[in-house]
């Protein structure tokens, strides 16, 4: 109960008035006793005792005032840390609502700029793990289009230079113009960095973001004032970045789980469950028509038996890539399992059949000479009927191919 009262009063700790009386009266009583025991028998006055007691009361009051000031500052710090935790928790809790990582980072940066008092604008810079190149992913109060023109590497950043390549701590720069002039950036790049904001950036606080021990990027908070950030802000941003790293890692893992649950791991196409869910939201275009297409590879078993399953997997990926190259923007495409693909596309039918012929020619020219059979049927929200029609047409085509092959083999045997 006392703890709740302290939070309502916005205090970390407080002393009851009885403690104050005890701390004041006991020492004064001791002073009086010592004075009486050591006072001369004649000619003594009480003024020295009053002076000592007065000095003690003033000293006690001053120490208490300073102590309360320190507790107030600690409370503000605790309050901001709680705000940071609340903000990051909110981001992590609502991570599924963001359509992509860019939108998530935008929300994270906006929270950071609001939380740190001296920050007027900011950016999140991502690091390419292979090339070490930097690119601005998210900004607040800056011209992103202008910043995307920059072509620079991690080694050219002041975070890298001020930490001697370690990128392991928060750094504060109070004179952006001088720090940039000492870098290997071109004059044009330096000018872009200085003019990307409406008001010139004079102070920057930069903190590395590490995920699973690897440098993911940097969080930069900027101000148009000189000396806008203190050691206190540095500590807050260190906490913020640590929590942000956890939030980004959590977001990435949630996206991976979503992908595994809804997409085929080999081809990246919709899996059967996700495809059937997407059917419920299919938007028909009456002037084009909607068509269900089933595609079944002809020679996957032979490829697996002859070359192994790794080559078979590569063949499946080539077929999926070929289908995507024609229909990615025409509808939804899925791998139903094994060597069977199902697509729902907008017409017209003649165009789809023409696309299938071109896909077949392209795959036939592949080193493995890939082929497939297909069936196509109109779709008018009756999934079961359309699937049966397309499946029947696909098997009819497959049987016709087998008959043709047998006829050729018989003819070759006779001759």
Indicate the domain borders of the chain. Answer: 2-91, 102-259, 272-414
Calculate mean pLDDT across residues 330-348: 93
Q: Is there a cis peptide before residue 48, judged by omega within 30 degrees of 0?
A: no
Q: Of the ranges 123-127, 165-169, 184-188, 371-375, which one carries the lowest mean pLDDT score?
A: 184-188
Question: For residue 230, what are its two tokens?
Answer: 């203190």
- List Cα–Cα distances, 351 to 100, 291, 327, in angstroms: 33, 11, 11
What is the average pLDDT score of the chain?
85
The per-residue pLDDT for 187 is 79
pLDDT top residue among 291 and 97: 291
pLDDT of 251 strictly over 70: yes
The per-residue pLDDT for 375 is 96
The per-residue pLDDT for 213 is 87
What is the 8-class DSSP label of residue 96?
Answer: G
pLDDT of 73 strictly over 50: yes
Calculate mean pLDDT across residues 48-63: 85
Q: How far apart are CA 68 and CA 285, in angstroms?
A: 70
Calculate mean pLDDT across residues 112-133: 90
In a 13 Å sphere around the CA of 289, the CA atoms on its Cβ side amount to 13
Question: What percent of the chain has a predicted confidence (pLDDT) above 90?
Answer: 37
Calculate mean pLDDT across residues 72-96: 69
pLDDT of 167 strictly over 60: yes
375 closest CA partner among 315, 263, 293: 293
CATH number of 272-414: 3.30.70.270
Q: How far apart are CA 195 and CA 145, in angstroms?
A: 12
pLDDT top residue among 68 and 8: 68
Calculate mean pLDDT across residues 148-165: 88
The string over 263-281, giving b where at least 16 C-beta atoms fall within 10 Å of a residue's C-beta and e elsewhere, is: bbeebebbbeebbeeeeee
The architecture (CATH level 2) of 102-259 comes to 2-Layer Sandwich (3.30)
Question: For residue 107, what are its two tokens?
Answer: 């929300």
Question: What percent of the chain has a predicted confidence (pLDDT) above 70?
Answer: 88
Q: 96: pLDDT confidence band, cut at 50, 70 and 90?
A: low
Q: Of the ranges 89-98, 111-120, 357-366, 398-407, which one carries the lowest mean pLDDT score?
A: 89-98
Q: 4: pLDDT confidence band, cut at 50, 70 and 90?
A: very low
Give the range with max mean pLDDT: 76-80, 184-188, 199-203, 383-387. Answer: 383-387
Calculate mean pLDDT across residues 283-302: 92
List, for residues 221-235, the tens digit of each pLDDT value: 999 888 888 888 888
């Amino acid at each position: 109960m006392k703890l709740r009262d302290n939070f309502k009063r916005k205090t970390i700790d407080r002393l009851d008035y009885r403690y104050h009386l005890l701390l004041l009266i006991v020492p004064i009583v001791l002073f009086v006793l010592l004075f009486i025991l050591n006072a001369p028998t004649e000619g003594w006055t009480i003024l020295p005792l009053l002076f000592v007691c007065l000095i003690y009361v003033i000293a006690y009051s001053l120490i208490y005032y300073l102590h309360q000031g320190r507790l107030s500052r600690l409370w503000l710090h605790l309050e901001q840390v709680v705000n940071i935790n609340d903000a990051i928790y909110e981001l992590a809790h609502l991570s599924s609502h963001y359509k992509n990582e860019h939108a998530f980072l935008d929300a994270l940066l906006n929270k950071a700029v609001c939380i740190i008092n001296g920050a007027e604008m900011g950016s999140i810079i991502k690091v390419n793990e292979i090339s070490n190149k930097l690119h601005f992913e998210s900004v607040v109060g800056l011209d992103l289009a202008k910043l995307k023109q920059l072509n620079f590497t991690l080694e050219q950043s002041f975070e890298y230079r001020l930490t001697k390549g370690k990128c392991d701590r928060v750094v504060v720069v109070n004179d952006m113009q001088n720090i940039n002039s000492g870098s290997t950036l071109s004059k044009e790049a330096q000018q872009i960095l200085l003019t990307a904001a409406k008001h010139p950036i004079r102070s920057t606080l930069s903190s590395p973001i590490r995920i699973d021990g690897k440098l993911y990027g940097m969080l930069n908070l900027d101000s148009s004032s000189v000396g806008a950030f203190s050691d206190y802000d540095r500590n807050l941003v260190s906490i913020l970045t640590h929590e942000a790293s956890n939030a980004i890692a959590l977001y990435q893992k949630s996206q991976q789980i979503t992908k595994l649950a809804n997409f085929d791991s080999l081809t990246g196409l919709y899996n059967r469950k996700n495809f059937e869910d997407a059917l419920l939201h299919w938007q028909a275009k009456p002037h084009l028509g909607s068509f269900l297409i089933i595609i079944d590879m002809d020679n996957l078993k032979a490829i697996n038996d002859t070359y192994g399953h790794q080559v078979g997997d590569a063949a499946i990926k080539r077929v999926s890539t070929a289908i995507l190259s024609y229909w990615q923007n025409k509808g939804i495409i899925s791998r139903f399992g094994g060597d069977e693909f199902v697509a729902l596309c907008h017409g017209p039918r003649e165009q789809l059949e023409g696309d299938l012929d071109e896909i077949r020619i392209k795959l036939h020219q592949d080193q493995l000479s890939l082929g497939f059979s297909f069936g196509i049927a109109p779709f008018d929200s009756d999934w079961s009927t359309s699937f049966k029609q397309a499946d029947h047409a696909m098997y009819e085509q497959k049987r016709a191919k087998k008959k043709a092959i047998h006829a050729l083999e018989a003819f070759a045997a006779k001759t």
